[in-house]
Amino acid sequence: MRTVFVAALVLLCASAVAQDAPKAAPLVNPASPAGARVFIESPRDGATVGQDVHVVFGASDIKVAPATDTAPGTGHHHLLIDVKQLPSLDGPIPADANHKHYGKGQTEDTIHLPPGDHTLQLDFADYRHVQFNPPLVSNKITIHVK
């Protein structure tokens, strides 16, 4: 009985603390630097490639940096694979098989894709994996994997 009472008391206190906790500040997307752009250097749109695809990322007028770099005007690449629409500006870019993060400041990668047609697009984000506003994205390319 004593264990049940203590557990109930702990839950009651936790609930009270949670209600008094300050609300999280709304997410503010960093402004895109003037003239900044990102692009896929290779492969080219329409290319036929093998299942191991070497992708080279490009950026101009913005500094590519690791996610540990919180300086304004810096960020890192995210590769969107077969993504139909951009992630919401309301939160960080998801981390899953279709949204690859390059938080160490990488500017290339070799990815493995099954045979068929695939789309690739870069989405640049700040140290929090939050997109710039407006989003800094490359043109979407389509490749054929044999």
Q: Where are the beta strands (DSSP E) in the chain?
A: 37-42, 48-49, 52-60, 63-64, 74-81, 99-101, 108-112, 116-125, 131-137, 141-145
Rounded CA-CA distance 75/69 in Å is 8
**Global pTM exceeds 0.85:** no
Residue 63 has pLDDT above 70, yes or no: yes
pLDDT band at 24 (very low <50, low <70, confident <90, very high): low
Of the candidate ranges 6-20, 67-81, 97-111, the one whose mean pLDDT is the lowest: 6-20
User: Please, what are the domains in the chain?
Assistant: 37-145 (2.60.40.10)
Q: Is 82 left (phi over 0), alpha (psi -120 to 50) or beta?
A: left
Provide the CB-side half-sphere exposure for 135 (13 A, CA): 21
91-144 residue pLDDT tens: 899 999 999 999 999 999 999 999 999 999 999 999 999 999 999 999 999 999
Q: Residue 86: what are its φ and ψ, rounded to 5°? A: -65, 150
Placement of tokens 């810096």 in the chain: 74
Strand-pairing partners, residue 80, are 99, 121
pLDDT band at 27 (very low <50, low <70, confident <90, very high): confident
- Percent of the chain scoring above 90 in pLDDT: 75
